[in-house]
Chains A and B, each alone.
Chain A
Amino acid sequence: MLKWLLLSYKIPPEPSARRVYIWRKLKRIGALLHQESYWVLPLNAHTREQFQWLSAEIIEMGGEATLWEASLVLGAADETLKQKFIEQVDQPYLEIIEMLEQGKADLESLSRQYQQILSKDYFKSETGRRLREALLGMRGKES
């Protein structure tokens, strides 16, 4: 059984830039919004730290944040949730693969994009592995 981290929060509506700022950070960490109610991450020391400090930041802004460690009892299955995390990284991975296949790719910039997606690839996506090999295979072949 997997362990998950759940974060729910409230931020004063104004200034709206703060809401956007927190939302961007959540996306960058790769958290998933579950049923429009709370943000989910698989639990490990790293994700715990990320959510802990994000909560502290929300509270510092005058908001409220609550962080739980949880395991699923009923409803969604671990596997379903896991699949959602994989889909979230697969899509941008596939976009890069497509660009590589079109042959007009800037390898350096695509590699950086790959690294960014990799940092939120919590379940070792197969597409990510394929992209990694494709990127490594392009070395020395750039025209």
Chain B
Amino acid sequence: MKWVTWENVAVDRMACAWLIRRFIDPQAEIIFIPAGHKPLPEDAEPFDIPGAKYSHRRGHCTFHTLLREYNLKDPILERIAQIVDEADVVQEAAVEPAAPGLDLICRGLRRISPDDPTALERGVLIYEALYAELMAENL
């Protein structure tokens, strides 16, 4: 399936791209459009674009929405959703110390990558690492 999002990915979209390819659609092809660009391509599922089906909902990040929509019930993914929530947008209460660090690293990763697809490729390693470490903590 084709997926589309705005260019200049950061923490939430890197997390979503990882989630999509790892748990939802291994063959996913992700394309990028400039922020605010309309109309959206018709043959692609938009994510993390304001107003799209897979977007922020009730103050939660898009990663969180994807977990709900695809009925992914994995406590480790829930935990990552909490971290991404706090990393991506301001929350009234913050309980994940890793969040600001993750935000910074993902922004830096985009900065040192030549383009968005490369940033997503590199982001995979970060989220695999996060997943593995949270899993180990939970054992």
Interface size on A, as a range, is 10 to 19
Q: Judging by beta carbons under 8 Å apart, are A25 and B90 in contact?
A: yes
Among residues 48 to 70 in chain B, which have CB atoms less than 8 Å away from a CB atom of chain A?
A: 50-51, 55-59
Chain B 77-95 against A: per-residue CB contact (8 Å), 1 yes, 0 no? 0000000000011111000
User: What residue in chain A is nearest B104 (Cβ atoms)?
Assistant: A46
Q: Judging by beta carbons under 8 Å apart, are B90 and A56 in contact?
A: no
What B residues does A28 contact at CB under 8 A? 90-92
User: What residue in chain A is nearest B92 (Cβ atoms)?
Assistant: A24
User: What residue in chain A is nearest B89 (Cβ atoms)?
Assistant: A53
Q: By DSSP majority rule, is chain A's interface helix, strand, loop, or mixed?
A: helix
**Given contact pairs A53-B89, A119-B100, A45 touches B50 in the complex (Cβ within 8 A):** no
Whole-angstrom CA separation of A54 from B90 in the bound complex: 9
**Given contact pairs A53-B50, A57-B56, A57-B59, A46 touches B92 in the complex (Cβ within 8 A):** no
Q: How many A-B residue pairs have CB under 8 A?
A: 40
Q: Judging by beta carbons under 8 Å apart, are B57 and A25 in contact?
A: no
User: What residue in chain A is nearest B62 (Cβ atoms)?
Assistant: A53
Whole-angstrom CA separation of A57 from B89 in the bound complex: 11
What A residues does B30 contact at CB under 8 A? none
Q: Judging by beta carbons under 8 Å apart, are B92 and A53 in contact?
A: no
Q: Judging by beta carbons under 8 Å apart, are B90 and A50 in contact?
A: yes
Q: Judging by beta carbons under 8 Å apart, are A54 and B89 in contact?
A: yes
Shortest C-beta distance, A22 to chain B (Å), equals 10
Chain A 22-62 against B: per-residue CB contact (8 Å), 1 yes, 0 no? 00110011000000000000000110011011111101100
What A residues does B50 contact at CB under 8 A? 52-53, 55-56, 59
Cβ-based interface call for B122 (8 A): no
Q: Judging by beta carbons under 8 Å apart, are B88 and A25 in contact?
A: no
Q: Judging by beta carbons under 8 Å apart, are B89 and A45 in contact?
A: no
**Given contact pairs A49-B89, A50-B90, A119-B100, A56 touches B51 in the complex (Cβ within 8 A):** yes
Chain A 98-117 against B: per-residue CB contact (8 Å), 1 yes, 0 no? 00000000000000000100
Whole-angstrom CA separation of A45 from B13 in the bound complex: 14
User: What residue in chain A is nearest B52 (Cβ atoms)?
Assistant: A56
What A residues does B55 contact at CB under 8 A? 56
Q: Judging by beta carbons under 8 Å apart, are A45 and B58 in contact?
A: no
Shortest C-beta distance, B69 to chain A (Å), equals 16
Shortest C-beta distance, B63 to chain A (Å), equals 13
The chain B residues found within 8 Å of chain A, CB to CB, are: 8, 10, 50-51, 55-59, 88-92, 100, 103, 107
